[in-house]
Chain A
Amino acid sequence: MPTITIDGKELTVEKGKTIIQAADEAGIDIPRYCYHPGLSIVGQCRICLVEVEKMPKLQVACYTPVMDGMVVHTQSERARKGRKDVLEFLLVNHPIDCPVCDQAGECFLQDYYMKFGLYDSKMLEDKNKKSKAVPIGKHIVLDSERCILCTRCIRFCDEVSKTNELGIFHRGDHAELLPYPGKTVDNPYSVNVVDICPVGALTEKDFRFRTRVWYLDETNSVCTGCSTGCNIEVHTNKKREYKNEGRRVTRLKPRFNKDVNEYWICDEGRYSFTYVDAADRLGVVMKRVKGELQESTWAEVMPEVLTALQSAKENNKRIAVLGSPKMTNEDLFALKKFASQTLGVSQMPVTVLPKEKPFSDDFLIREDKNPNTKGAGYLGYDTDHKATRKLLDDCASGGVELLIIFHHDLEAGFETELVKSALSGAKTVVFVGSNANTTSARATYILPSCTYVEKEGTFTNFAGRVQKINRAIEPLGDSLPEWTIIRNLSRKIGKALAYFEAEDVFKDLTKNTAAFSGMSYSAIGDGGLVAEENGKLKQGDAKAAAQKTETATA
């Protein structure tokens, strides 16, 4: 392995790596526009110029491979001048409209100007005019004047989404990024081009003019759009709530995880958060009075639900539970424990397959649109759709006294007739969920639960990777995490569950479920851990996770 020196720091680097990759590993900051670790290297923006001893010209750090004995200076006068010159060139035709640009605050031009530029411009000429505010896709707006032609977006469409929509047209300083004639950037991963755009050329329609980025808080989380479990950052605006039209989550951004989604997320997942503050969001406890659902309180409803459970138990009537793969491992474990220990429920289905097969591909988008089906399986739930049908059949035939349903909109997966007769077959239907649907509309009680951005917990993705979600915003209204609702029930009936926070549930879970044994929140970290049916962590996985946490914090 070659040994090189960057700014006096001696590094041993894997052969074939380039200077910028070596510097990144060593925590030495070299600026970049066109270089992106998830894309091919083109070396065309030239901002990463560094001085390499024994080489007459400045070299681009992104493209130049390391060689044994190489001595690199990133802060020498020549290197600094080279970068400053490139930055000045980039701004020659740039409109410098930061005050009205959505990228301001997370713009590489601004950042590097403050770091490497700080010159008085000698540019006195008129700037070139190019197209502004062009909608180039369903979610994307292009401002060509701000574009620095780094081609990151082009390479994304060529190499990652493989949809080839974008190109550079014309030559010289008249060159412009545009979609090819007749094309729009509407692939399932299109908005990633906005994430990787280092400047304000590509902006997201949904985010444009919504808020300044410095008002945003970031919380690490996991996308719940499907079973891939892409790592995300939830950006919330608590400092200027009025700026977001009542929406508490401003946007989702992909978060790097080399084992899951690398740098990307799909558009479907990116906009999957809208249910958090949607009109159908359940924030109030409800109960049916004279056939009508009416607002109520936990204090009023909990004793009634408990009485119903108690009477069913005492009269040896059957209680049935339909869990949901949208619940966290913690929710599912608490439910399982409570249902089997206290309610005597043994069969616990979770799956409702939609009538039509949803879109999926061989990259990130999976057919299973639930974040935790795998976890439900590990925790002993029956993940077969047929098990749910059987449960509904039992209800329809009058065999069930009390039915507790989590989240599901049953009509999405079953015939309306069956759903109707099943829900009217049970004497009491308790619906626990975050959003209203045709099932909640027929429930006796509605217990509002938190969405994934309002609580803590873990999901197990399709590959068995257990990943952590964190609380980004306060729960809406009366809503509570599902495990808390179950815990509260358990305090009045049967054996009380001694949980005070999600981590308590998880600790109990790891002790009692082979697949999760040995795990902890701190070991899961930001990168996740792979659960195994036999209960052993994949070799080296814990170590890798620990390292990743370190780099993430660095």
Chain B
Amino acid sequence: MSKNGKILTPLIENDCNLLENYKKFKGYEAAKKALKMSQDEVIEEVQKSNLRGLGGAGFPTGRKWAFIPKNSQKPVYLVINCDESEPGTFKDKYIVSSATHVLIEGIIIASYAIGAHTCYIYIRGEYVEPARRIEAAIKEAYDAGILGKKVLGTDFNLDVYVHRGAGAYICGEETALLNSLEGKKGWPRMKPPFPAIEGLFRCPTIVNNVETIAYVPPIIQNGPKWFADMGTERSGGMRFYGISGNVNKPGIYELPVGTPLREMIYEHAGGIPGGKALKCVVPGGVSAPPLRPDEIDVPMDPDALAKIGTMIGSAGIIVMDEDTNLVEMLMASIRFYHHESCAQCTPCREGTGWLDKILQRMLSGGARERDIDDLYEIGDSIFGNTICPLGDSAGMVAKGYIDKFRGEFEAYLSKSIAAKSANSPELKKAS
């Protein structure tokens, strides 16, 4: 650990995609320690650390692992979700590219804890270089006796495979990911059964985000209390925040869970260029409903954000200054969902396209009086009625922007309608 208390950042900065570099950071010591513990002890340590899933949903990791049925007759799988595609999110890319071995070490510990002997890393297709690096690191690990038969000299066997996605956001949803991994269309599955009971190839499966698994070795190494103490009461440790948009220093920042959003924007990211005023912040990737400037004193903690009607998601913060047209921003978000909707269930398939069409029309000068109400109603009709959270997100986002910035939407609408009437030949003739 480096002097400023960061955990994974030093690994990224020191090219720990290479085994020799990772060895300098006590590489694979945590795995050796874990392999001497019992499986339940490992799960308990992770539970005590308050590590929560860092991919978006924020489910307690140890508790998820404990869902794997004991003494299952079927093989158990570990699947690493590296289909990082949420707009505003770009943290996993750095971990798999430059802290690759800590991910592999985490995989060993997690696989041991849940009794898996096969792990698949599902990486988004566009991540070409990260995929190449992780393949190389896995090869290094196999050659060094870290993976394969007799992991680190113990009786534990583990094979790790990299599977590259074909470019669908929906495959980041864990059950769609499993379908895609099985060679099927990337459509989310109905739940229950949850993957821990019936996942990959209908066998018990744990799907974890890259970052989540990367924090496992330090937790085992330093103990759960050390990690838990860094975070908030119910969410332990540190995490990566990706900050983008109108800030002076966009990038990824590893900071404790619960760091206030204001501090994130104005201290770590260096504030807004040109000293402009803040208009809107998305706290956790485009799927998180936006916040107004008066709401940014919230700590970046799953529970605190949920309380004010948004979510931490993947902690991808998007900052928008006073010049941003939020109708455009909403359109960009909705266009994304429209493009990525998998087409399986009706409200999302038809609703996202419909929202997109209305927004496109509004932005090309064809706004109508009732558009805002329509957007809101359609968003509301999608929300809660779909198989997976993609539809929910689209609905939440449409509703979120209108709830928080209705005035701005109305102003845009009246300006646009006025311009339309001014340009209408019929009206000109009449006047």
Binding site for B on A (CB under 8 A): 41-47, 49, 56-58, 63, 82, 85-86, 88-90, 92-93, 122-126, 128, 148-149, 167-168, 170-175
Contacts and interface: CB of A to CB of B under 8 A. Distances in A.
20 contacts: A43-B387, A45-B345, A46-B347, A46-B386, A49-B385, A89-B346, A89-B347, A89-B350, A89-B351, A90-B350, A92-B353, A125-B357, A149-B346, A168-B343, A171-B339, A171-B340, A172-B343, A173-B349, A173-B350, A173-B354
Nearest to B342: A171
Interface in B345-365: 345-347, 349-354, 357-358, 361
B384 interface: yes
Contact of B346 (A56, A58, A90, A125): A90
B341 interface: yes
B358 A125 contact: yes
A76 to B, nearest CB: 15
B345 A125 contact: no
Nearest to B341: A172
B154 interface: no
Contacts of B368: 124
B354 A123 contact: yes
B347 A122 contact: no
Given A44-B387, A89-B381, A173 B190 contact: no
Closest 6 A/B residue pairs (Cβ): A175-B343, A173-B353, A85-B381, A89-B350, A172-B341, A125-B357
B385 A82 contact: yes
B36 interface: no
B356 to A, nearest CB: 9
Contacts of A122: 370, 374, 377
Contacts of A63: 190
B387 A93 contact: no
B387 A173 contact: no
A273 to B, nearest CB: 37
Nearest to A124: B368
A172 B185 contact: no
A125 B347 contact: no
B349 A128 contact: no
A86 B343 contact: no
B93 interface: no
B344 interface: yes
Contact of B357 (A57, A126, A149, A175): A126
B277 to A, nearest CB: 35
Contact of A44 (B345, B351, B381): B345
Interface residues of B, number: 32
Contacts of A173: 338, 341, 343, 349-350, 352-354
Contacts of A124: 368
Contacts of A82: 385
A154 to B, nearest CB: 10
A175 B346 CA distance: 11
Contacts of B357: 125-126
A122 B349 CA distance: 17
Nearest to B361: A125
Contacts of B353: 92-93, 128, 172-174
A172 B352 contact: yes
Contacts of A42: 190
Contacts of A171: 168, 339-343
A33 to B, nearest CB: 8
Interface string B153-191: 000000000000000100000000000000001000010
Contacts of A45: 345-346
A46 B350 contact: no
Contacts of B370: 122
A168 B347 CA distance: 17
A41 B381 CA distance: 23
Nearest to B351: A89
Contacts of A125: 354, 357-358, 361
A119 to B, nearest CB: 11
B202 to A, nearest CB: 14
Interface string B358-400: 1001000000101000100100011011110000000000000
B352 A47 contact: no
Contact of A168 (B185, B345, B351): B185
A507 B73 CA distance: 59
A167 B385 contact: no
B352 A43 contact: no
A49 B344 CA distance: 16
B400 to A, nearest CB: 18
A44 B361 CA distance: 29
Nearest to B192: A65
A175 B357 CA distance: 16
Given A58-B384, A173-B353, A46 B190 contact: no
Contact of A46 (B168, B343, B385): B385
Given A46-B347, A148-B346, 12 more contacts: A43-B345, A58-B385, A89-B347, A89-B349, A149-B349, A171-B340, A171-B341, A172-B341, A172-B343, A172-B353, A173-B352, A174-B353
A252 to B, nearest CB: 32
A172 B338 contact: yes
Nearest to A150: B346
A43 B190 contact: yes
Nearest to A88: B381
A149 B386 contact: no
Nearest to A83: B385
Nearest to B383: A57
A171 B381 CA distance: 20
Nearest to B338: A172
Contacts of B387: 43-44
B345 A46 contact: yes
Nearest to B347: A89
